[in-house]
Structure 1
Amino acid sequence: MTKPTSEDQQRAIKIRELRVYRGPNYYSYEPSIHMVIDLGPLEAAPTDLLPGFTEQLVALLPGLHDHQCSRGHDGGFVERLVEGTWTGHVAEHVALELQRTAGHEMTRGKTRSTGERGVYNVIFGYLDETVATLAGRLAVKLVNHLISVVDAETDVEGAVPVDLDFDFTAEHEAFLLTSQRVAFGPSTQAILDEAISRDIPWQRLNSGSLVQLGHGKLQQRIRATMTSMTGSLAVDIASDKELTSRLLAAAGLPVPSSEVVRNADDAVRMARRIGYPVVLKPLDGNHGRGVAINLSTEDEVRAAFEEAYDQSRRGYVLVESFITGKDYRVLVIGGNMVAIAERMPAHVIGDGVRSVAALVEQTNADPRRGVGHEKVLTRIEVTDSAVELVRAQGFEMADVPPPGEMVKLALTGNMSTGGISIDRTFEAHPDNVDIAEEAARVVGLDIAGIDFICPDITQPVRETGGAICEVNAAPGFRMHTHPTIGEPQFVAKPVVDLLFPPGTASRIPIVAVTGTNGKTTTSRMIGHIFKGIGRKVGMTSTDGVVIDDRLVIRSDASGPRSARMVLQNPRVDFAVFEVARGGILREGLGYTRNDVAVVLNVAPDHLGLRGINSVEQLAKVKQVIVEAVPKNGAAVLNADDVLVAEMRRACSGEIVWFSIKPNNRMIADHCRRGGKAIILEKVELGDQIVLVHGRRRMPLAYTHLLPVTFGGKAMFNVQNAMAAAAAAYCAGAHLHDIRAGLRSFTSSFYQAPGRMNLTEVRGVKVIVDYCHNAPAMIALGDFVDRFFEDSVGTTVERPQRIGVVATAGDRRDQDMVDLGYQAGKHFDRIIVREDERLRGRQPGETAGLIVDGVRRAQGEGARVKEVEVVLDEIDATRVGLERANAGDLVVLCVDRARAVWDQLQTIGNVAQAGAGEEFSDA
């Protein structure tokens, strides 16, 4: 075989990027895994040109025969393999099938070209992200291995040598073990399945079984079968078996005689006092570990004591009388019995042919048995204690029991030790049910597993003999949801009923805001309106995470992780999320849906990043929040933006338009059919924001009376206010509350830092704003042109306009030139700076491109007369103020708004101090 001359010639798939989307995203409505894979030379080698590849793949993963692919029938994918499909598509199906072998049934997937030859986006769904990412990587390794085997057999030029160390069976087993370790247990999964069926949202809070159900203040938590309502004191009581026994006895409930000991001699002494046979168990144990029953001699007691002592956390062992009968588990939830299972310990039944060891092997071959909680039954482990128990019954592991003879391999009937269960829910005598329910109430558990030992659960225990031997907190559900014999019981339903009684809400309202410009201001307006109503608003934005008007995390928090943080906060009852392009492309939305989606505008910005190269693709990214609107939700869309208006086709809920342009025919037709819109009307007293709902017209506010619009001159904030009003109306706010919110919201630094903050320093008017792209500069420039329209009595004949401008280094070169070009149209003097983080650019590179745009505008006769470069943001701020005279306007396009604002206050304070000294000297 010819070895490759370079890595680029190797016939192997390479994973360029792997991402986890934890919610609706650019590629799918559901959580997905996204792999960008490079086929390299395999682009020219579909599967029909790889002899033996299909046969070997299907032999390793026969479940691929069930994949329909695009054919709509089982076997469709195998047909595609035979006819010829690309190996990227194969990796997608292999990843899905690997998840399926781990018990994660998933069929969603697609493979699409990125536009670059041989490079594909492979998208597939998941139930657990860890399992899915492992499946994706193992899928690529398997496909590459099979390709290398094919290449070795056909002596292909540039082939990868066969990886002799790759053992798919071993890799697959390791994958399954990891999947089992990270997966939820059967009890947690049963509760989650019930919650999901009721549309209750959930989040996993750790790598174990701690799960949050519901959002914000409506949330409840579970850990396995312990809930937010499970009392710590009740768990402590249930964990102390001796205390439990005393409390139950005091309540008149049947319990065995018992004593607590700390050494083997005391155990023997108490066994004599109670009377043989006896049971030994750790006082605070669980899952049946360390329990020994039917002990009849001192030697047996001493031997059992050591094992029980090892399993006890505090070193106490309980000696109690042995109650003969069958082992029953009664599950009580919310004070009511919901299921009863008869438990039988791990055992085999002789057939007169096979040995005990062979019978165990045959039993473990049952496909329902797995390791731990992997499947509905657990494999029987032949431990030393199991061998001793078999010997006590008169057999060795190599002996052949007679037909019909039961040979026990464990003393207790726990499912975790290989036991089986028989459903007896509808057979129990009412008196026994009452006893179990009373026991749960005495201990105080909302979810309790009551262990009964009695001859027959159908007969009253008080008459036939028997007792409650344990009350368990966090009882397992597997014996009830997957009984070996009998009908399964849906025990998760009463748990969810307990946490969320019928009619109880589990979701808080979510408003998502996106757009190229104006997201933060609009989000803050919406949050301000609902805070005025009395709601506890959780908000994310580029400023940080705000909980009830308090900034708790200062960072760019416009992504999905911040959204999940808000939804975890137990105080929040209303959420407003600023949703940025980057977060959607990085992780998806991070939540399943939003009640109201607001899209302000779409303009060229951040293009050329993460495969988004056109404004149309950018619009598709921002459209994700519209796609996440349910049927009873609403999308608030800018009718004046063509790309935003097109998003109406992707919305399942209602559309609410907003527009500053008069006589919009689309809006008129929409409202004529009973729709809603926010429009701007010119009336005698000025521009008025009006809510139109069908034939009703409801005035909201005059634009010049809204502080954030600077007397109606900042048209971009007029649009933001209209969008905020529409979103608030859709989210249930009253018109009076919307009006009050808009009239009291200001653009002060303390209410909207870095968003059109106006101050005065040494007689110079200064505006601090986060303007960083050409579309924003056009809007800001329009405001600057209007700023001095009503000025009277200024100290200068023609106030000077000074702009300090910059943009982030991850924009395209042309975007930077365009920013400078637009700034040149509106400012007399421009000072170009750079952000502290250059994002891959060389110092001065970004500034140079902006200067090129300013020079271009200057050459076309634009307003700008002078341009200079001061790279540091604080230095540029000082220079801008030094160049200004009293009455001038300085606009600072900031990156670090807090640092710039503090600098302005320092300069202003110094100026005031100087003026005071001068006055005192006079």
Structure 2
Amino acid sequence: MTETHGTPAPDLKIIETRVYRGPNIWSYDPAIHLVVDLGSLENFPSNTIPGFSERLLADLPRLDQHHCSRGRKGGFIERLDEGTWLGHIAEHVSLQLQQEAGHDMRRGKTRQVKGTPGVYNITYAYADEAVGLAAGELAVRFVNNLVQPQMKDGQPAFDFTTELEKFIKQAERTAFGPSTQAIVDEAVSRDIPWIRLNKASLVQLGQGVHAKRIRATMTSETGSIAVDVASDKDLTTRLLASAGLPVPRSESVRTVDAAVSIANKIGYPVVCKPLDGNHGRGVCLNLQDADAVREAFPIAAEQSRRGFVIVENFVTGKDYRCLIINGRMEAIAERVPAHVVGDGVHTVAELVDITNADPRRGVGHEKILTRITVNNAARQLVRDQGFELDDVPPEDVMVKLTLTGNMSTGGISIDRTWEAHPENVEIAEEAARMIGLDIAGIDFICPDITQPVRETGGAICEVNAAPGFRMHTNPTIGEPQYIAKPVVDMLFPPGAVSRIPIVAVTGTNGKTTTSRMISHVFKGMGRKVGMTSTDGIVIDERLVIRQDASGPKSARMVLQNPRVDFAVFEVARGGILREGLGYERNDVAVVLNVQPDHLGLRGIDTLEQLADVKAVLVEAVPRTGYAVLNADDPLVRKMRRKCSGQVVWFSMAEPGSEVRDYIEGHCRRGGRAVVLERSDLGDMIVVKHGRRSMQLAWTHLLPATFGGRAMMNVQNAMAAAAAAFAAGAPLHDIRQGLRTFNTSYYLSPGRLNEIDVDGRSVIVDYCHNAPAMRMLGDFVDRLGESLSASSEVGRPSRIGVIATAGDRRDDDIRELGEVAAQHFDVVIVREDARLRGRKRGESAGLVQVGVRAAMDNSARCRRVDVVLDELEAVRFALERSNPGDLVILCVDQHQSVLAELESVSHLAQAGARSGDEGGDPDFVQPDEEITEETPRELA
């Protein structure tokens, strides 16, 4: 027994909640993540709280089936007896609550937050997001109540039985109906992805161009005209009669007198029913005279949307529902109206209560059977059978509560699928064809479905669009019919494709450019590419949403678009931590690098932790997929162990190095890789597959590399080539895509866009951290050398406008300034519009400190200014530059910056035409003394 001091208090509380909608750092599957604080309960494991385990198991006895870490039934009980912490118990309660609601969830995990005693991460699986969240909240309240019962005015304030019933009712409200759930389950069994499109039953099966939709049993193949015809019972009857199918004599009317007149014409008994009703509402049967018709008419008219009522002759016999899917009869059920059977002991009302106590019965369509409702019509029907609700019917006497056999009014079903006469099956199938429905419920009234209806008498009384499946999937008597299978067969015939290829790209730097390169390759092949990136969502070369779209919601938007047949997702660290991937798996995962950026956020403090986050993409690769990994990055290289599919390496390492030797061995075993071969003629990107080596392109001939000087884009191009090769693109298409991809604003907005502004070479890029600045600085050095060699006025100056996000660590922000100072003559520090928790000027001041520290150590930089506003910083840089200088703008809002540059360029051209000459800027000369200056902000 653990030694404790004091008294346990109900201190367990949730301090953070996340919902993962796809693979995440905790699980391969969707999960709920709760961060909980145990408070004083950190000192009280379960075996130190008297009676806790007994009370827990009394309310949730099925917890004894939980395996826990022991891997066997009863394992969790053993942990309770030994002593386990209450966060772990809340995890198991959350899972069990979902099981009580019919969601068979078993996966969970509880881990203490490192360095924070009493705070735990709880993750557990869920089937429905709202139910999973409600389960976690109820579990915490329940555990607290077990520790110390909550009281209010001397009475218990928490009744678990009542709370559990509320929870189950909530779960039933949000759950799919039986029909939708059956189709979704069948799709899942075939590995067809699905997305719930609303809170009701609208579901997408498949992805992108292959997507189909269902709403209950109505599909994207269901014709709207057919649905309209089926909802018009008068038109349905006339169409079926024109095909020679047995139907009752009927006419539609709008007044009581017309109904009586038609009834007299047809002959009694008759039926009155709404022209366009459903679920048997408003249907009045076996009307024997005009008075009965007058009484029934308003009941039927109330349920008619258009005010018309059908009067038809009453066909006697049993009620059968024939389900026709894609022109074939798949199931037949005999529908028995809601009723009770006397036992000689209980009254009719008591028998109804006993029947409704059946756990299979619920409200509406939430369960496989519906509770019987005793209303005025039911009381009158009981009275017509010679009983009152307080009477005790004799043993084995059936007392009907409704006349119609609809499941929605409390009826039951008996499976008759294999008993129907072939002629009756043919009639039902022909009726569905006449109406034009892909899924139809044909209502037969006849004495016996095993005999030909044309000989025994009977008729088709209705044809229903979107018929319910539960009478067939869960018959009260008989074998269940797996009718979801033909529905999915119809939507996705055997061999049909339901998924689109998904290439996901992650890494600290280079994600956006690599994603754009991959998209460009496949656009050139004629694919309709949907791409997400930090700039927005692009569908088939059209920017449809302009925002940071590197998260899971954007990925789902692409997968829902019916034009997309190929998806490329830029996946950022934040989205993975916030919601997971948002989709089930990716065919190709690309990991570019893991660099010190975004550390100190959301519990990610080390590079190893950051690598684990980005490795989620690799873990989401199926056995048939590929992981494209940077062999030059040790943390990325380790991710190979997490890949279920094949690994494709890319590397810029020299031949003979340890990395290249490893890659050569990988290729000798049949693997794939993209490497860089250097020669006197230049650098060649080479694709290796097994023992074959295939030359792809000279790096200096790829426009995005600026003649081979932009080594970061050489690396990005190699990653893109490896991903495209893994995704099945031919080499000549990859080569053509890379040769035609450039860093113009049209193809790559905000990434190494080069613009000539009045003789100045201006480069616009998104560099925002120290590792990216090193790569950019290498490019600046290479490009600056070429500009110096061609300059006639001496060495051109290099001016850099830099910034970083405010949510970085202080050291990382200062390091950005230190690195920038090594490559620029003048550094101008700005800030993003979003300060991300810092005060105005704070992050810029840290960058400036880093620049000055490097200047003190003889860095290249000889001047630093602070201009906080982005556009003002751009103008300031251009004012201080001369024609021939190199100006690098590390921007946040590239649209505004490019518009500003175009404006300045037009003004400069206009000034040149008018003969005006621009003035030379006053630079601090290298031999002048640098004095401390107050950071400057131009208003």
Global fold match (TM > 0.5): yes
Mapped contact 1:244–1:443 kept (Cα < 8 A): yes
Q: What's the secondary structure of 1:375's corresponding residue?
A: coil
Among candidates 861, 864, 879, match of residue 864 of structure 1: 861
Q: Provide the rounded CA distance (Å) in 2 between the counterparts of 1:21 and 1:277.
A: 60
- CA separation of 1:300 and 1:418: change in aligned 2, threshold 3 A: same
Write the deviation string for residues 700-749 of structure 1: whole angstroms up to 9, x where unpaired.
Answer: 00000000001111111000000000100111111110000000000111
Q: Which amino acid aligns with 1:717?
A: N
Match of 2:189 in 1: 197
Q: Structure 1 residue 733 and structure 2 residue 729: aligned?
A: yes
Q: Provide the rounded CA distance (Å) in 2 between the counterparts of 1:412 and 1:74.
A: 47
Match of 2:570 in 1: 578
Q: Which amino acid aligns with 1:654?
A: Q
Q: What's the secondary structure of 1:303's corresponding residue?
A: helix
Mapped contact 2:532–2:569 kept (Cα < 8 A): yes
Match of 2:661 in 1: 665
Match of 1:75 in 2: 74
Match of 2:922 in 1: none
Using the TM superposition, give the Cα deviation of residue 371 of structure 1 relative to its aligned residue in structure 2, in angstroms.
Answer: 2.2
Match of 1:148 in 2: 148
Using the TM superposition, give the Cα deviation of residue 779 of structure 1 relative to its aligned residue in structure 2, in angstroms.
Answer: 0.6
Write the deviation string for residues 813-855 of structure 1: whole angstroms up to 9, x where unpaired.
Answer: 1110111111111111111111111111001100111111111
Mapped contact 1:148–1:161 kept (Cα < 8 A): no
Mapping of 1:359-758 within 5 angstroms? 359-663=351-655, 664-758=660-754
Using the TM superposition, give the Cα deviation of residue 436 of structure 1 relative to its aligned residue in structure 2, in angstroms.
Answer: 0.1
Match of 2:934 in 1: none
Mapped contact 1:765–1:889 kept (Cα < 8 A): yes
Q: What's the secondary structure of 2:307's corresponding residue?
A: coil
Mapped contact 1:548–1:572 kept (Cα < 8 A): yes
Mapped contact 1:332–1:449 kept (Cα < 8 A): yes
Match of 1:304 in 2: 296
Mapped contact 1:12–1:147 kept (Cα < 8 A): no
Mapped contact 1:277–1:295 kept (Cα < 8 A): yes
Which shows bigger deviation, 355-364 or 119-128? 355-364
Q: Provide the rounded CA distance (Å) in 1 between the counterparts of 2:601 and 2:784.
A: 39
Match of 2:937 in 1: none
Q: Provide the rounded CA distance (Å) in 1 between the counterparts of 2:75 and 2:693.
A: 57
Q: Provide the rounded CA distance (Å) in 1 between the counterparts of 2:475 and 2:814.
A: 70
Mapping of 1:720-869 within 5 angstroms? 720-791=716-787, 792-869=789-866
Q: Which amino acid aligns with 2:139?
A: A
Q: What's the secondary structure of 1:70's corresponding residue?
A: helix
Among candidates 908, 913, 916, match of residue 911 of structure 1: 908
Using the TM superposition, give the Cα deviation of residue 387 of structure 1 relative to its aligned residue in structure 2, in angstroms.
Answer: 1.3
Q: Provide the rounded CA distance (Å) in 2 between the counterparts of 1:880 and 1:97.
A: 63
Using the TM superposition, give the Cα deviation of residue 297 of structure 1 relative to its aligned residue in structure 2, in angstroms.
Answer: 2.5
- CA separation of 1:167 and 1:796: change in aligned 2, threshold 3 A: farther
Using the TM superposition, give the Cα deviation of residue 381 of structure 1 relative to its aligned residue in structure 2, in angstroms.
Answer: 1.7
Mapped contact 1:9–1:40 kept (Cα < 8 A): no
Mapped contact 2:272–2:293 kept (Cα < 8 A): yes
Q: Provide the rounded CA distance (Å) in 2 between the counterparts of 1:883 and 1:42.
A: 63
Q: Provide the rounded CA distance (Å) in 2 between the counterparts of 1:70 and 1:396.
A: 58
Mapped contact 1:795–1:887 kept (Cα < 8 A): no
Match of 1:157 in 2: none
- CA separation of 1:559 and 1:162: change in aligned 2, threshold 3 A: farther
Q: Which amino acid aligns with 1:189?
A: Q
Q: What's the secondary structure of 1:527's corresponding residue?
A: helix
Using the TM superposition, give the Cα deviation of residue 9 of structure 1 relative to its aligned residue in structure 2, in angstroms.
Answer: 10
Write the deviation string for residues 216-250 of structure 1: whole angstroms up to 9, x where unpaired.
Answer: 11110000000001000000000000000000001
Q: Provide the rounded CA distance (Å) in 1 between the counterparts of 2:26 and 2:281.
A: 48
Q: Provide the rounded CA distance (Å) in 2 between the counterparts of 1:418 and 1:58.
A: 35
Match of 2:929 in 1: none
Q: Provide the rounded CA distance (Å) in 2 between the counterparts of 1:644 and 1:472.
A: 57
Match of 2:91 in 1: 92
Write the deviation string for residues 560-612 of structure 1: whole angstroms up to 9, x where unpaired.
Answer: 00001111111110000000001111111110000000000000111111111
TM-score (norm 1): 0.97
Mapping of 1:288-303 within 5 angstroms? 288-303=280-295
Q: Provide the rounded CA distance (Å) in 2 between the counterparts of 1:274 and 1:177.
A: 47
Mapped contact 2:674–2:722 kept (Cα < 8 A): yes
Write the deviation string for residues 433-486 of structure 1: whole angstroms up to 9, x where unpaired.
Answer: 000000000000000000000000000000000000000000000000001111
Q: What's the secondary structure of 2:489's corresponding residue?
A: helix
Q: What's the secondary structure of 1:281's corresponding residue?
A: strand
Q: Structure 1 residue 130 and structure 2 residue 127: aligned?
A: no
Using the TM superposition, give the Cα deviation of residue 165 of structure 1 relative to its aligned residue in structure 2, in angstroms.
Answer: 2.8
Residue ranges of structure 2 left out of the alignment (5+ in a row) = 1-6, 918-939
Q: What's the secondary structure of 2:853's corresponding residue?
A: helix
Residue ranges of structure 1 left out of the alignment (5+ in a row) = 1-7, 153-159
Mapped contact 1:145–1:163 kept (Cα < 8 A): no
Q: Which amino acid aligns with 1:362?
A: I
Paired positions, count: 905
Q: Which amino acid aligns with 2:791?
A: T
Match of 1:36 in 2: 35
Using the TM superposition, give the Cα deviation of residue 426 of structure 1 relative to its aligned residue in structure 2, in angstroms.
Answer: 0.6
Match of 1:334 in 2: 326
Mapped contact 2:149–2:156 kept (Cα < 8 A): no
Q: Provide the rounded CA distance (Å) in 2 between the counterparts of 1:568 and 1:460.
A: 47
Mapped contact 1:690–1:698 kept (Cα < 8 A): yes
Using the TM superposition, give the Cα deviation of residue 10 of structure 1 relative to its aligned residue in structure 2, in angstroms.
Answer: 5.9
Using the TM superposition, give the Cα deviation of residue 179 of structure 1 relative to its aligned residue in structure 2, in angstroms.
Answer: 1.1
Match of 1:47 in 2: 46
Which shows bigger deviation, 585-594 or 850-859? 850-859
Q: Structure 1 residue 354 and structure 2 residue 346: aligned?
A: yes
Q: What's the secondary structure of 2:772's corresponding residue?
A: helix
Q: Provide the rounded CA distance (Å) in 2 between the counterparts of 1:167 and 1:365.
A: 21
Q: Which amino acid aligns with 1:77?
A: F
Q: What's the secondary structure of 1:381's corresponding residue?
A: coil
Match of 1:24 in 2: 23
Using the TM superposition, give the Cα deviation of residue 788 of structure 1 relative to its aligned residue in structure 2, in angstroms.
Answer: 2.8
Q: Provide the rounded CA distance (Å) in 2 between the counterparts of 1:727 and 1:290.
A: 61
Mapped contact 2:784–2:886 kept (Cα < 8 A): no
Q: Which amino acid aligns with 1:345?
A: P
Q: Provide the rounded CA distance (Å) in 1 between the counterparts of 2:92 and 2:44.
A: 18
Using the TM superposition, give the Cα deviation of residue 655 of structure 1 relative to its aligned residue in structure 2, in angstroms.
Answer: 0.2
Q: What's the secondary structure of 1:313's corresponding residue?
A: coil
Q: What's the secondary structure of 1:598's corresponding residue?
A: strand
Q: Provide the rounded CA distance (Å) in 2 between the counterparts of 1:271 and 1:90.
A: 67
Q: Which amino acid aligns with 2:200?
A: G
Q: Provide the rounded CA distance (Å) in 1 between the counterparts of 2:65 and 2:340.
A: 35
Q: Provide the rounded CA distance (Å) in 1 between the counterparts of 2:573 and 2:772.
A: 16
Which shows bigger deviation, 877-886 or 179-188? 877-886
- CA separation of 1:816 and 1:161: change in aligned 2, threshold 3 A: farther
Q: Provide the rounded CA distance (Å) in 2 between the counterparts of 1:627 and 1:24.
A: 8
Q: What's the secondary structure of 1:304's corresponding residue?
A: helix
Q: Provide the rounded CA distance (Å) in 2 between the counterparts of 1:72 and 1:683.
A: 59
Using the TM superposition, give the Cα deviation of residue 201 of structure 1 relative to its aligned residue in structure 2, in angstroms.
Answer: 0.6
Q: Provide the rounded CA distance (Å) in 2 between the counterparts of 1:764 and 1:353.
A: 100
Mapped contact 1:771–1:893 kept (Cα < 8 A): yes
Using the TM superposition, give the Cα deviation of residue 783 of structure 1 relative to its aligned residue in structure 2, in angstroms.
Answer: 0.8
Q: What's the secondary structure of 2:823's corresponding residue?
A: coil
Q: Provide the rounded CA distance (Å) in 1 between the counterparts of 2:16 and 2:381.
A: 55
